[in-house]
Structure 1
Amino acid sequence: MGLTLDQALGQLDITAIAFRRVELPETVLAPAAPGLVHFIAVLGGSGTLDGAPEPIPVTEGELLLLPEQMELRPSPELVLAHGLLGATLLDGRSLFALLPLPHRLNAAGTELLTGAIPEMLRESAHGGAGSAAIVTCLARRLVTTLVRDAWPKPDEISPAGVASQQERLGKIVDLLKKDPAREYTLDGLAQAAGMSRTVFHRLFTRTYGSSPLAMLREFRMKRAQALLSETDMPIKTITARLGYRSRSHFWKLFKDAHGIDPSNSACRAGVDDIFSRELSQTAGGPRLIGQIQPLLWRKS
C-alpha cells in the first residue's frame, strides 16, 4: 500500500532546531545529526554553497533541503537563514529519506520569505515561552511547501519493513504508550502499521480488546492520574500536555475513567499521601494502608 503526501503530512513529528541568520564571512555550517537535514533560505545575494561534491549555486529567494552529512561554506556575499529540520513518520522513517536531496524551490516574492521565515528567526532568537511551538508550527508549513512538488508516486515508496502483523500492532502500542500526547488519527496509525484502515482497526481490536484510539485515551488518563498525584502541575497544563485542546473534554474523560474530577484526584492524592505517612508510623499501619487506599480511590 502506497503512502500519499497527505497521509505522510498527517502523521509527521516535526523537529526544528538552531534556526539563525547567517551573514558572516567564513561561516561553516557543520553536518547535521542523523535524521536531520539542512534547511537554507537565501535571504540576499547570489553565490555558492561550498562543501558538497560540487559547489551549489544559489540565488536570492531560493529554499533548499540538503543532506545531513554536508559541511557547508557559504560564499561571503550570501545572507542566509539556516536551521536543521527533522520530519519523522509514525513508523520511524524520515520523510526526507523518501525524497531526492538536494532539493530546492524558488520562493522569491512569496510570504514564506517575507513573513514565515523572518518570524522563525525572531522566535528562535527570542526563545521565550511559546517560541518553540511557534517555530515548530512554521517549520511544518515549510516542510509541506518544500516536499509537495517533489513527492514520489505512492507506489514508488517501499513500505516499512516489519516482519509480521503482530509486530506491527505491537509497534503501534509502543508508540501510543511512549508518546500519548501526540496527535494521532486512525488513518495515520493504519498507514504506520502498513495496513488498510479497516483491517488495522479489526486486527487491533481483536488482539487487544480495545480500539487504537480507546487505548490511546486509556494511556492518556493513566498519565494524567500520575501527573495529578505526583506533581503540582496545573490541570490546564496537564490538559495541553496530553494533547487535549478542550479542558472540559479532558475533564469529562478523566471522570469517566476514574470516577472523580481531576481536581478531586489531586486533592485526594495529597490527603492520601499525608494519611499514609502518618499511618505507616503506627503499629499495623502498613497493613491498614493497603486496605484503606482502595476506598479513597473508589469510583463514585
Structure 2
Amino acid sequence: MISLDRLLDGLEVEAEPFVVHDLRRECTPSCGPMKPALHCTRSGSGVVELAGGATVRFSRHNVIVLPPRRRAGIVPERSTVGARMKEEAGTSPKVVTACGAIRATYQGSVGLFDQLREPIVENFAADDPIHRSFQDLMDEIAGTRAGSRAMVETVVRRCLILLMRRHFRHVDARTSWLVGLDDVRLGRAMALMHDRPQQSFTLRALAEVAGMSRSVFAARFADAVGQSPIEFLKMLRLARASQLLMNSDLPVKTVAARVGYSSRSSFTRAFHAHHGIGPTAFRTAAHEPAIGPFVVEPTPPDGAAEVA
C-alpha cells in the first residue's frame, strides 16, 4: 500500500472553477456528479443532500470531500423553529458556500478520490490552521485577481494535505479507499465491499471479483492490508458506522442494518468492542465534544431484546 507520506509528497491537483452559492438567493444548487468535489463554507450552515438519501451537515467549521458519481444538493439549515422564523422575516443569516470539482492524483496518474464511496467530513475549531487555509481558499475563489486559477490549485493542494493528515489521525488507512490504489485487482474486491458493506461475502466470491485464486487473493490482500478480507470487512463496517453516526440522524438500528448487522444488540457489542464506547454515546460525543467525557453504554448480552 502507498504510504500516506509518499502519497502526499506526490500529490498533484487540478481544480475546475469553483461555483460560489448564496443560498438566500438560490434554490438547491448542486455539485458533481462525475468527479470528486470539494465543498467549503464562508458563512452560515445547512446540509448537503446526497443521491441515495444520505445527508451531511456543513458549516464554517467543516469541509467536505464529495465522492464522484453522486450528485449532491446544497440546502440551508431550516430545521429549527427559530431558523424558519428568521427566514420568513428575512433576517436569516447569509449562507455562502463554494463547491468545485477536483482531480487529485498521485504523480499525475492514480486518482486519490476515484474510489471514494462516502463523503469525507472534517470538523475544526476557528483557531485551527486548517480553518485558516480553507478561508484563504474561499478568499481566492471570491477574488478576480490575475493567476487566480493557478493560485486556487496551489491552495487546494495545501488544503488537501492538511485535510488528509487530519483525516487519517482517526481513520485507519487500511480500511479506506486508498488501499486499492496500488493493486487494481484488489481494488475491485475492495470497491465491492465499500459499496455493499451490508452484504455477506465469502472469500471465494471476493477472489473471483479480483480475478485470483482464493489462496493468492488471501495472501496478497493480507500483505497489502495487514489483515484478512473478512477482518477488513468488519473494520470497514465499523468505520462506515462511525461516519453514519457522526454525519446523519439515522436511528442506531438503521445504521446497524446499513453496515450488515442483523440486530442493534449485535452491532452495539461489536462497536463497543472496537471503540470502547457504545454507538449512542459516540454520536453524542461527536456532536457535542465540549460537554464532557463519554457516557459508556452497557454492552448488551447475547440474546438481548432489540431497541427500536
TM-score normalized by the length of structure 1 = 0.45
Larger radius of gyration: 1
Greater share of residues in helix: 1
